[in-house]
């Protein structure tokens, strides 16, 4: 049969599209693996790679060995010496939903045949750390070579830099296991969230550029020419597998991880399940815990646990058939900026905000993203019409990471001449980046933000006063400062649409109940600059009363834990301002009585101890329990570490409970908690 010109053109167009995709992906591989400077989010790369795989399958032609669908990583750079891996370091295929995870499980069942019963099939679930893979070679138990993934066959020699990472032993602990003469250990180098924040703070302080995310920071830190620089970057490492010489050491992945831990490596918490429902449950649990973890993960990894079965299934060109990465919803995506808006905060800071074409980020639709300040906006080269990368991690407010392919003809935004809300002049404190509105409480935007903060759950906790109601109360001149909340004319609200008698009654009760709050909550509600909830608690405990705090000089303030010269100066400045003192006096006259809970139980069993609460409790809310424990001299903490004394676990306690048991931390239940809360 003759081929028509139309069929020929369609075929040629498909080939050209495939060729263009391969070139694009190779360029992105080079930027990601070699330059540590990716120009697109991971989710966009995954989408392009998936598109290439589909088109290659549709074409029916033999896929070349150098196609990105068949290769791992990128060519080794010339900056470091190349080191061959004794066994290839493969990548993982991806699943993006439950259907694809189901297909993975079904492929394994089909490959193994009917002799493997469903009950006899075990999978292990591991968090997928957002870092970079390295291969460690040990000879007679001694670390001799460390290399990056590279192209999967050879990587860059980063041995000196790897030796600066405390989680990586220079000599393996033999214990009661014989170590092979030659052994490759695989794992992930990463940077914790805390280390990443510290590094970016130093970068900005020294006039450098901030890193976009912990993965880029870790990659850049590991590939420093000077190992002393790497040592300052606080890198970490998790071991997750072995290469040459390792498969005979254990019968399963779970046994191998236990062995690697005994060798001296840090390993992650894992779970072993038997079916798809177990895999998906593990995925959901880790996604819920993601924001509270000390490091970034971008998904979970499912592996067939049994090594003998892994060997039967084998691998394709770039990835094993017995493992897959189930990715979380993208936290970095691309979209277009409609306009740059200017927002006024409660302290008068003028913040640029990008109005975006709505896009799903981390499972949430985002249409606004912060740009922090005018300097950051200019550095990231963001403007109306720009295509940008937007990031949202956990519950963090979405932010613009950077613009892509900046148009040289673009008009970049500049700082407004005056406040965009009240038209007052702007000023900048020497040594600070932020510009501020000089309008004070005459600026309705500042007043609204202060009121929102004052009534928030962590402050005075006044339910029923939402953003819309606050905005209207300010616009109707019924609220001119926070003290007016306790002088509110409720009768004037009765004819407002949506504000009925029940809502007014509830609002009255909430405002009345807020009059009795701990001093720490009251101080936090006042919105003193640089004074958050932790500092407020420290001030309340140290001074014991509002009057004592108001009279304290900077020298006395600096004696308080977590209070430095800048915070002390801010506190003194706040109480020196006549308007602030007037508002506080009016609050007190209206019956607001901040108190310091008496610490009657210095002999309490938990006094002075660090205690973590996790899970849900039936008899008490966790936040309330933490506050009550604090009044008893206990130190509540949010995460489990070697410094934790007690973990109190309620229902559905997850990874914190597992970690506590691994560290040998004392674990108690809700019954013990209630006894401690009612200690006499």
Burial zone of 624 (CB within 10 Å; 0-12 exposed, 13-18 middle, 19+ buried): exposed
Q: Where are the alpha helices (DSSP H) in 293-362?
A: 307-313
Could you tell me how far CA 293 lies from the centroid of its own chain? 8
Catalytic residue among 128, 303, 380, 517: 128
Give which of 293, 343, 349, 309 is closest to 641, Cα–Cα.
293
Phi, psi (rounded to 5 degrees) for 339 = -165, 160
Residue 247, token pair as written in the block: 């498969």
Position of tokens 């407020």? 536
Is 128 known to be catalytic? yes
The vertex-570 CA angle with 566 and 576, nearest 5°, equals 145
Is the C-alpha dihedral spanning 203, 289, 263, 158 positive or negative? negative
**CB within 8 Å of 370: residues ≥ 6 apart:** 351, 352, 353, 354, 397, 398, 399, 400
| Rounded distance between C-alpha atoms, residue 295 and residue 189, angstroms | 11
Give which of 41, 639, 16 is closest to 391, Cα–Cα.
41
* Residue 24: CB atoms within 10 Å: 15
Phi, psi (rounded to 5 degrees) for 59 = -70, -30
CA contacts within 13 A on the Cβ side of 82: 12
Q: Are the C-beta atoms of residues 337 and 406 closer than 8 Å to each other? A: no
**CB within 8 Å of 661: residues ≥ 6 apart:** 667
DSSP string, 39-101: SS-HHHHHHHHHHHHHHHHHH-SPPPTTSTTT--S-PPPSSS-EEE-SS------EE-SHHHH
Position of tokens 């004394």? 645
Burial 68-96 (b: 16+ CB within 10 A, else e): bbebbbbebbeebebbebeebbbebbbbb
**CB within 8 Å of 359: residues ≥ 6 apart:** 333, 334, 335, 365, 366, 390
* Distances 87 to 138, 183, 243, 646 between C-alpha atoms, Å: 13, 10, 6, 44
SS3 350: strand
| Rounded distance between C-alpha atoms, residue 548 and residue 253, angstroms | 60
Which amino acids are annotated catalytic?
128
């Amino acid at each position: 049969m003759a081929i028509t010109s139309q069929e020929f053109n369609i075929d040629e167009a498909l080939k050209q599209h495939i060729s263009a995709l391969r070139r694009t992906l190779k360029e992105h591989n080079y930027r990601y693996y070699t330059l540590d400077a990716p120009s697109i989010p991971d989710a966009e790369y995954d989408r392009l790679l998936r598109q290439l795989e589909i088109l290659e399958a549709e074409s029916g032609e033999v896929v070349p060995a150098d196609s990105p669908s068949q290769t791992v990583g990128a060519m080794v750079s010339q900056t470091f010496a190349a080191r061959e891996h004794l066994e290839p370091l493969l990548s993982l295929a991806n699943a993006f939903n439950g259907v694809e995870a189901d297909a993975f499980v079904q492929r394994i069942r089909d490959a193994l045949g009917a002799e493997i019963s469903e009950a006899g099939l075990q999978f292990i679930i591991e968090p997928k750390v957002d870092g970079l893979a390295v291969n460690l070679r040990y000879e007679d138990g001694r670390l001799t070579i460390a290399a990056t993934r590279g192209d999967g066959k050879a990587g860059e020699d980063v041995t000196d830099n790897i030796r600066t990472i405390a989680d990586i032993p220079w000599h393996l602990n033999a214990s009661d296991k014989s170590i092979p003469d030659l052994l490759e250990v695989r794992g992930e180098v990463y940077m914790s969230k805390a280390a990443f924040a510290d590094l970016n703070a130093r970068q900005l302080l020294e006039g450098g550029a901030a890193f976009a995310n912990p993965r880029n920071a870790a990659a850049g830190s590991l590939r420093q020419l000077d190992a002393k620089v790497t040592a300052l970057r606080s890198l970490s490492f998790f071991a997750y597998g072995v290469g040459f010489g390792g498969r005979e050491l254990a019968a399963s992945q779970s046994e191998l991880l236990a062995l690697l831990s005994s060798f001296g490596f840090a390993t992650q918490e894992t779970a072993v399940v038997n079916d798809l429902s177990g895999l998906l449950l593990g995925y959901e649990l880790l996604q819920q815990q993601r924001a509270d973890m000390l490091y970034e993960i971008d998904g979970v990894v499912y592996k067939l646990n049994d090594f003998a079965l892994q060997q039967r299934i084998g691998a394709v060109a770039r990835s094993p058939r017995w493992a897959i990465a189930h990715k979380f919803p993208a936290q970095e995506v691309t979209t277009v900026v409609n306009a740059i808006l200017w927002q006024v905060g409660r302290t008068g800071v003028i913040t640029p905000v990008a109005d975006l074409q709505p896009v799903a980020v981390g499972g949430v639709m985002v249409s606004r993203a912060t740009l922090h300040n005018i300097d950051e906006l200019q550095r990231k080269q963001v403007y109306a019409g720009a295509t940008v990368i937007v990031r949202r991690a956990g519950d963090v407010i979405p932010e613009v990471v950077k613009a892509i392919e900046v148009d040289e003809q673009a008009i970049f935004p500049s700082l407004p001449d005056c406040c965009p809300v009240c038209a007052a002049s702007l000023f900048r404190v020497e040594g600070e980046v932020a510009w501020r509105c000089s309008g004070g409480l005459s600026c309705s935007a500042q007043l609204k933000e202060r009121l929102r903060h004052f009534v928030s759950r962590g402050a005075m906790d006044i339910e029923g006063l939402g953003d819309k109601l606050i905005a209207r109360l300010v616009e109707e001149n019924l609220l001119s400062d926070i003290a007016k909340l306790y002088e509110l004319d409720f009768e004037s609200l009765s004819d407002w649409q949506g504000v009925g008698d029940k809502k007014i009654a509830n609002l009255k009760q909430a405002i009345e109940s807020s009059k009795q709050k701990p001093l720490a909550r009251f101080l936090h509600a006042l919105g003193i600059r640089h004074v958050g909830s932790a500092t407020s608690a420290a001030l309340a405990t140290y001074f014991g009363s509002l009057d004592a705090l108001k009279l304290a000089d900077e020298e006395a303030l600096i004696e308080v834990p977590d209070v430095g010269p800048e915070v002390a100066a801010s506190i003194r400045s706040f109480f020196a301002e006549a308007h602030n003192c007037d508002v506080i006096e009016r609050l007190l006259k209206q019956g607001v009585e901040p108190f310091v809970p008496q610490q009657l139980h210095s002999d309490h069993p938990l006094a002075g101890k660090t205690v973590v609460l996790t899970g849900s409790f039936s008899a008490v809310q966790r936040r309330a329990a933490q506050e009550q424990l604090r009044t008893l001299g206990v130190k509540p903490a949010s995460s489990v570490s070697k410094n934790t004394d007690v973990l109190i676990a309620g229902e559905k306690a997850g990874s914190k409970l597992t970690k506590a048991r691994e560290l040998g931390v004392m674990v108690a239940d809700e019954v013990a908690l209630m006894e401690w809360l009612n200690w006499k």
